């Protein structure tokens, strides 16, 4: 359930409608998924009148000032939204825009002076709220691996699966150290640009960042020469073969078991400078970068030709980290699944915050991840139960049993919290559910080598017991016959 | 005359139209092929290569596994994604007349051992239990990362097994065996936990087809070197080494794979045709009913190579350069440089002096002892 609080300013709706405030409207949608599964998505809208400071803030001239005034009083709980309805003729929004989505869980919608004001505004609010929190495709993407798909959409395959932590590795590839003496201030760039982004995402997992420089690492593909622009290019269809020869040198970390994201910066050799990446139509790509789902991204950094004029080789190259980090952070966003939401028509987006992540984008990610974690935990527990049902002679140890109980309790708690709209605790509970269920399922003691097919049972036990059993049986028969004879005897001699 | 010229004039635009439609068909075909490329649905590749027999005369099984390892590495799967299990060491076996080599072709044409072979499970570690642990993921927490199969729901896994087998079982290390039902159950547990997207199972043993009869999990394709009741035969002995070097089926598979490069579009139907009965003596079999895609749409590199899907990055986010922080950062670095003292080599040991001193002392000692003895 997504709690939305809707705040009406004075001139936004007709007076008699304003009399009805405050009240609550619940908007429920059932989203059908495959296999007769449904997810109920509830938006609980609490309508209220605007307070004085809010009125003042919304009558200011520009959006930025209004936001700074509105942001002060309280921090909103995670997962909730606040929508402000302003009057139809307010100049806060540009004339043709109907709504605006801010960086921090707030949105502004234009009101209307109409009899059916509440219904119309209600629909607009739902559109905005869905763009900011949950829609059908977000949920479908989260549950992608539990339902068979008919079509493979790249959006659904790109993001990483939910995990407790991630490792991010930045690598600088310098294939030609004789010509280029490349320096990059990766520590500063990570501190300034990447770390704030990861801090904003820290709810979603632990992140560790490392970096390395690789010399004499070449790409697997020879770039072709384009005489028209006197530059070299890599065609789009040869890009998939670029990654593999480099990957073996990257040294995936031996220490942790978390998924690794690699970001490579390639400075082409003097013989192949400048190097551009071409897309399918043959046009050079503006960012000069490409990424691979669930793996990472590569960017090609061309050395400024002016640097060659003055000195002899090797030329000192100072990498412009801002440009590089812009691309890498965009790739990081894509790889994490922070996709562009379905924008309602005539809606204005605010400029992203300095960290590169808007708060409601994080909320979207957390909603999707919570649902995904819940689904994973439930399927793991079900398959564990099925396994135990099939193979009856597996022994369950006490700690496995306690993990299962903990996982079930966490699943229930997460479902409750999701239904009541507390996103933060729901996410934490869902992560705990996944960890406990995986620990129970992958416990090394559950490996059954106790499979005995029936013919093997016969083959093992019959040669063992049959020779012993034959004399025993024969003597039992003999004892029985003799005892019968001794019963009959006293009858005779009376 | 006029009629023919009229006809020819009518034919020309018709021909033009036909050509145009062919052209558009061709481009749409190219686009379709490009879309097909995206159809496999996997984002990474893993390989589990198992050789289950030990002793010198089973040289060919190790050579089989190593040749598949070599092809898989050449086509792009990195070592971190390959779990190689070899039950015995042939390259450094005391009976190997050419140490540190394992050949697959006679006259020592091709050494499949190479410089960068990483064996993850070696010798007595190759057991049924370890193999099942690798597949199902029930590994003790102290196992290093290179010994784990860390696949996810978008991994295509290639599993290759070779050794001595029979109807429904495969012999491990001459002391235990794995049955086809256990294997099928292990794959089902992998499917339950979504540890694979698609699985290709290749087995080169006698009566190999019996091993894939019992599979029941979806998305598995299986190939075997011989049917139930048939024996898989070995290829050729090498007189210098003294054993058979390869099995027939894997030999012809290796020759087939040598012609594949990472960009090739060869599909699985060609792999099914490798090693017909005339060359192999046994009849190779395959099973595709559990597989959802049509084998002719499945590229060889979907399983044997690691061709990653890429997308062009079209958008960036805008970052503001913060000049204030830049300046302070410069200062910090400058201060750091100040603090680092210039390093220099420590004083070298004055060897000549020491020798001189030692010799001098020795001579002194000798003289004193001489003096003492004299006395």
Burial class (CB in 10 A: 0-12, 13-18, 19+), B120: buried
Q: What is the pLDDT of residue A342?
A: 60
pLDDT exceeding 90 applies to what percent of chain A?
Answer: 6
Q: Which residues of B touch A289 (CB under 8 A)?
A: 312-313
Q: How far is CA A148 from CA A138, B39, B173, B221, B224, in A?
A: 16, 14, 39, 18, 28
Q: Closest to A257 (Cβ–Cβ): which among B76, B150, B316?
A: B150
Shortest distance between the Cα of A294 and any Cα of chain B, in A, equals: 7
| pTM exceeding 0.80 | no
CA distance B337 to chain A (A): 15
Task: Tell whether the torsion through CA atoms of B93, B95, B96 and B97 is positive or negative.
Answer: positive
Interchain pair A154, B311: CB under 8 A: yes
* Rounded CA separation A292/A435 (Å): 27
- In chain B, the residue whose alpha carbon lies closest to the alpha carbon of A353 is B319
Please answer yes or no on whether B309 and A240 come within 8 Å at the CB atom: yes
- Residue B100's CB is within 10 A of a number of other CB atoms, namely 11
Closest CA relative to residue A296, chosen from A268, A242, A257, A335: A335
Please answer whether residues B85 and B118 qualify as being in contact, where contact means their C-beta atoms are separated by less than 8 angstroms. no
- State the pLDDT at residue A274: 84
Neighbours of A322 (CB within 10 A): 15
Percent of chain A with pLDDT over 70: 65
Q: What is the mean pLDDT of residues B12-38?
A: 52
Q: What is chain B's mean pLDDT, rounded?
A: 81
Q: pLDDT by residue (tens digit) across B300-335?
A: 988 998 877 788 877 777 766 554 344 344 444 444
CA distance A22 to A411: 35
SS3 sequence, chain A? CEEEEEEECCCCCCHHHHHCCCEEEEEEEEEECCCCCEEEEEEEEEEEECCHHHHHHHCCCCHHHHHHHHHCCCCCCCCCEEEEEECCCCCCCCCCCCEEECCCCEEEEECCCCCCHHHHHHHHHHHHHHHHCCCHHHHHHHCHHHCCCCCCCHHHHCCCCCCCEEEEEEEEEECCCCCEEEECCHHHHHHHHHHHHHHHCHHHCEEEEEEEEEECCCCCCCCEEECCCCEEEECHHHHHHCHHHHHHHHCCCCCCCCCEEEEEEECCCHHHCCEEEECCCCCECCCCEEEECCCEEEEECCCCCCHHHHCCCCEEEECCHHHHHHHHHHHHHHHHCCCCCCCCCCEEECCCCCCCCCHHHHHHHHHHHHHHHHHHHHHHHHHHHHHHHHCCCCCCCHHHHHHHHHHHHHHHHHHHHHHHCCHHHHHHHHHHHHHHHHHHHCCHHHCCCCCCCHHHHHHHHHHHHHHHHHHHHHHHHHHHHHHHHHHHHHHHCC
B189 interfacial to chain A (CB closer than 8 Å): yes
Chain B residues in contact with A353 (beta carbon < 8 A) = none
In total, the C-beta contacts within 8 angstroms joining chain A to chain B are 157
B44-51 vs B82-86, strand pairing mode: parallel
Phi/psi of residue B334, nearest 5 degrees: -65, -40
Higher pLDDT, A161 or A61: A161
Q: Say yes or no for a CB contact (<8 Å) between A192 and B325.
A: yes
Q: How far from A371 is each of A57, A141, A436, CA to CA, in Å?
A: 36, 10, 16
CA distances to A334, B133, B210, B333 from B149, in Å: 26, 9, 25, 43
Per CB-CB distance under 8 Å, the chain A contacts of B324 are none
pLDDT in tens, A42-101: 777 777 667 776 677 666 666 666 666 666 545 556 666 777 777 666 666 666 666 666
Which positions in chain B touch A247 (Cβ < 8 Å)? 78, 306
Q: Which of A162, A240, A396, A460 to mutate to test the interface with B (most CBs of B within 10 A)?
A: A240
Question: What mean pLDDT do residues B126-152 have?
Answer: 89
> CB–CB of B311 and A292 under 8 A?
yes
Q: Are strands A347-349 and A81-86 parallel, antiparallel or unpaired?
A: unpaired
Interface contact B311, partner A, CB < 8 A: yes
A204 vs B300, higher pLDDT: B300
The CA distance from A28 to the nearest CA of chain B, in Å, is 32
Q: β-strand A81-86 against A2-8: which pairing, if any?
A: parallel
Q: A284 CA to chain B: closest CA distance, Å?
A: 11
Q: Please report the sign of the dihedral spanned by the C-alpha atoms of residue A182, residue A186, residue A187, residue A193.
A: positive
Q: Quick one: which of B199, B198, B201, B204 has its CA closest to B253?
A: B204
* Tokens 């050449």 -> residue: B74
Are the Cβ atoms of A244 and B185 closer than 8 angstroms? no
B267 near A CB under 8 A: no
CB nearest B154 (choices: A157, A242, A325): A157
Q: Which residues of A touch B133 (CB under 8 A)?
A: 444, 447
Spatial CA neighbour of B182 closest among B139, B214, B208: B214
- Distance between CA atoms of residues B54 and B71, nearest Å: 23
B331 to chain A, any CB pair closer than 8 A? The answer is no
Q: Which residue has the higher pLDDT, B232 or A420?
A: B232
Q: Are the Cβ atoms of B314 and A247 closer than 8 angstroms?
A: no
Taking the CA of residue B166 and the nearest CA in chain A, the distance in Å comes to 15
pLDDT (0 to 100) of residue A408: 92
pLDDT band at A150 (very low <50, low <70, confident <90, very high): very low
Q: Taking a C-beta distance cutoff of 8 angstroms, is the pair A408, A381 a contact?
A: yes
Specify which residues B45 forms β-bridges with. B156
What's the number of CA atoms in the CB half-sphere (13 Å) around residue A164? Answer: 11
- How far is residue A370's CA from residue A426's CA, in Å, rounded to a whole number? 7
* A439 contacts on B by Cβ (under 8 Å): none
Whole-angstrom Cα distance, residue B364 to residue B356? Answer: 12
In this prediction, residue A284 has a pLDDT band, given cuts at 50, 70 and 90, of confident
Tell me the pLDDT band of A339, cut-offs 50, 70 and 90: low
Rounded Cα distance, B222 and B198, in Å: 11
Residues of A within 8 A of B321 (CB-CB) are 322
Which residues of B carry out catalysis? 164, 206
| Angle, helices B180-192/B128-136, rounded to nearest 10 degrees | 20
Chain B interface test: which of A294, A354, A434 (most B C-beta within 10 Å): A294
Indicate which of B319, B320, B321, B337 best probes the interface with A, i.e. most A CBs within 10 Å of its own CB.
B319
Q: How would residue B224 be classed by pLDDT, with cut points 50, 70 and 90?
A: very high
Between B122 and A255, the more confident residue is B122
| pLDDT score of A140 | 64
- CB within 8 Å of B157: residues ≥ 6 apart: B45, B46, B47, B48, B149, B151, B195, B196, B198, B199, B200, B303
- Give the residue among A331, A222, A296, A252 at the shortest CA–CA distance from B263: A222
Sheet holding B176-179, edge to edge: B165-166, B169-172, B176-179
> Which residues of chain A have a CB within 8 Å of the CB of B219?
none
Domains of chain A: 2-141 (no CATH), 165-336 (3.40.390), 359-450 (1.20.1270)
- The alpha carbon of residue A257 is apart from the nearest alpha carbon of chain B, in Å, by 7
pLDDT over 70 for what percent of chain B?
76
* DSSP 8-state assignment for residue B200: E
Q: Which residue of A has its CA nearest to B139?
A: A444
Chain segment A215-246, per-residue pLDDT in tens: 888 887 888 888 887 888 888 888 888 887 77
Do A46 and A3 contact (CB within 8 A), yes or no? yes
**What ipTM score was computed for the predicted complex, to two decimals?**
0.78
Of B314 and B275, more confident: B275
Scan for tokens 């020469």, then name that residue. Answer: A225
Query: Residue A453: closest CA among chain B residues belongs to which residue?
Result: B181
Q: Among B138, B307, B310, whose Cβ lies nearest the Cβ of A442? A: B138
Comparing CA positions, the residue from A325, A228, A225, A213 lying closest to residue A272 is A225
Is B262 in Cβ contact with A152 (below 8 Å)? no
β-bridge pairing A180-183 and A165-174:
unpaired
Contact with chain A for residue B290, Cβ under 8 A: no
Residue B1, pLDDT > 50, answer: no
Residue A257: closest C-alpha in chain B: B145
Kindly list the distances between the CA atom of residue B5 and the CA atoms of B12, B16, B17, B65, B293, in Å, as whole numbers in the listed order. Answer: 11, 17, 19, 70, 53
Whether domain B44-304 has CATH 3.40.50.1000: the reply is: no
Q: How big is the CA angle at B201 (ends B303 and B290), to the nearest 5 degrees?
A: 95
Flag whether pLDDT at A109 surpasses 60.
yes
pLDDT of residue A487: 87
**Nearest neighbour of B152 by CB, restricted to A161, A244, A292:** A161
Are B262 and A244 in contact (CB < 8 Å)?
Answer: yes
B79 chain-A contacts, CB cut-off 8 A? 248
Closest approach of B1 to chain A, Cα-based (Å): 48
3-state DSSP of A130-174: HHHCCCHHHHHHHCHHHCCCCCCCHHHHCCCCCCCEEEEEEEEEE
| Nearest CB to A290; choose among B138, B140, B312 | B312
Task: Select the residue of A325, A379, A441 nearest B319 (Cβ to Cβ).
Answer: A325
Tokens of B265: 């579009």
* Local confidence band at B51 (pLDDT 50, 70, 90 cut-offs): very high
- Report which listed range, A17-31, A38-52, A98-112, A377-391, is most confident: A377-391
Residue B43 touches partner A, C-beta closer than 8 Å: yes
In angstroms, the CA A7 to CA A11 distance is 12
pLDDT at position B223 is: 93
Chain A residue with Cα closest to B146: A254
């Amino acid at each position: 359930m997504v709690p939305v609080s809707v705040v009406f300013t004075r001139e936004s709706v007709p007076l008699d409608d304003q009399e009805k405030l405050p009240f609550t409207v619940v908007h429920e949608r059932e989203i059908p998924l495959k296999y007769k599964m449904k997810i109920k998505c509830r938006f609980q809208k609490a309508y209220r009148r605007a307070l004085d400071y809010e009125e003042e803030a919304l009558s200011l001239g520009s959006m930025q000032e209004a936001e700074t005034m509105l942001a002060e009083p309280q921090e909103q709980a995670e997962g909730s939204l606040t929508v402000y309805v302003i009057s139809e003729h307010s100049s806060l929004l540009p004339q043709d825009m109907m709504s605006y989505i801010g960086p921090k869980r707030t949105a502004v919608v234009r009101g209307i002076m109409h009899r059916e004001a509440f219904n119309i505004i209600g629909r607009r609010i739902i559109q905005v709220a869905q763009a900011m929190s949950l829609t059908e495709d977000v949920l479908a993407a989260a549950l992608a691996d539990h339902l068979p798909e008919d079509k493979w959409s790249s959006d659904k395959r790109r993001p990483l699966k939910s995990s407790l932590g991630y490792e991010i590795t930045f690598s600088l590839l310098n294939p030609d150290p004789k010509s280029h003496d490349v320096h990059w201030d990766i520590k500063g760039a990570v501190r300034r640009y990447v770390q704030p982004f990861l801090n904003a995402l820290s709810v979603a997992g632990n992140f560790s960042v490392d970096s390395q420089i690789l010399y004499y690492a070449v790409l697997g593909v020879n770039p072709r020469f384009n005489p028209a622009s006197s530059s070299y290019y890599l065609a789009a269809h040869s890009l998939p073969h670029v990654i593999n020869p480099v990957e073996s040198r990257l040294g995936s970390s031996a220490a942790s078991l978390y998924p690794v994201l690699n970001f490579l910066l390639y400075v082409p050799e003097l013989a192949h400078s400048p190097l551009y990446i071409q897309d399918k139509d043959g046009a050079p790509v503006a960012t000069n970068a490409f990424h691979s789902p669930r793996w990472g991204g590569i960017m090609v950094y061309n050395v400024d030709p002016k640097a060659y004029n003055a000195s002899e080789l090797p030329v000192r190259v100072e990498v412009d980290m801002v440009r590089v980090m812009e691309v890498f952070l965009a790739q990081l966003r894509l790889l994490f699944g922070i996709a562009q939401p379905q924008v309602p028509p005539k809606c204005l987006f605010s400029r992203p915050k300095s960290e590169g992540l808007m708060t409601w984008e994080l909320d979207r990610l957390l909603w999707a991840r919570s649902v995904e974690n819940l689904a994973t935990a439930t399927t793991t527990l079900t398959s564990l139960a099925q396994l135990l049902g099939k193979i009856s002679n597996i022994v369950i140890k006490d700690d496995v049993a306690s993990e299962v109980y903990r996982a079930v309790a966490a699943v229930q708690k997460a479902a409750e919290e999701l239904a009541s709209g507390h996103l933060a605790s729901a996410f934490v509970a869902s992560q705990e559910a996944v960890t406990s269920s995986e620990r129970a399922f992958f416990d090394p003691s559950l490996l059954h080598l106790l499979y005995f097919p029936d013919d093997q049972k016969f083959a093992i036990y019959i040669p063992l017991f049959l020779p012993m059993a034959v004399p025993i049986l024969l003597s039992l028969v003999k004892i029985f016959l003799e005892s019968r004879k001794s019963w009959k005897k006293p009858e005779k001699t009376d | 005359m006029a009629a023919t010229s009229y006809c020819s004039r009518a034919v020309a635009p018709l021909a033009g139209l036909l050509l145009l439609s062919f052209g558009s068909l061709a481009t749409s075909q190219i686009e379709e092929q490009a879309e097909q490329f995206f159809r496999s649905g996997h984002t990474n590749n893993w390989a589990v290569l198992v050789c289950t027999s030990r002793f010198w005369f089973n040289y060919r099984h190790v050579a089989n596994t190593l040749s598949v390892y070599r092809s898989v590495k050449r086509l792009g799967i990195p070592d971190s994604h390959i779990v190689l299990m070899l039950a015995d060491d042939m390259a450094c076996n005391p009976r190997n007349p050419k140490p540190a080599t394992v050949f697959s072709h006679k006259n020592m044409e091709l050494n499949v051992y190479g410089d960068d072979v990483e064996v993850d499970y070696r010798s007595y570690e190759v057991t049924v239990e370890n193999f099942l642990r690798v597949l199902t993921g029930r590994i003790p927490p102290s196992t290093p990362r290179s010994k784990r199969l860390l696949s996810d729901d978008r991994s295509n896994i290639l599993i290759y097994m070779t050794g001595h087998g029979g109807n429904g079982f495969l012999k491990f290390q001459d002391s235990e065996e794995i049955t086809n039902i256990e294997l099928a159950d292990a794959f089902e547990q992998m499917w339950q936990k979504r540890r694979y997207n698609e699985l290709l199972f290749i087995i080169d043993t006698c009566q190999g087809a019996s091993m894939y009869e019992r599979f029941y999990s979806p998305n598995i394709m299986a190939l075997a070197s011989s049917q139930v009741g048939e024996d898989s035969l070995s290829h050729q002995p090498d007189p210098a080494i003294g054993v058979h070097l390869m099995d027939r089926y894997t030999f012809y598979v290796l020759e087939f794979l040598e012609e594949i490069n990472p960009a090739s579009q060869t599909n699985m139907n060609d792999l099914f045709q490798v090693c017909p009965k005339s060359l192999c003596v046994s009849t190779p079999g395959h099973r595709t009913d559990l597989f959802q895609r049509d084998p002719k749409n499945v590229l060889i590199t979907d399983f044997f190579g690691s061709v990653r899907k890429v997308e062009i990055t079209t958008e960036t986010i805008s970052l503001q350069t913060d000049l204030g922080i830049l300046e302070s950062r410069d200062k910090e670095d400058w201060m750091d440089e100040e603090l680092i003292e210039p390093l220099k080599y420590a004083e070298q040991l004055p060897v000549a002096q020491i020798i001189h001193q030692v010799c001098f002392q020795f001579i002194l000692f000798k003289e004193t002892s001489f003096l003492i003895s004299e006395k």
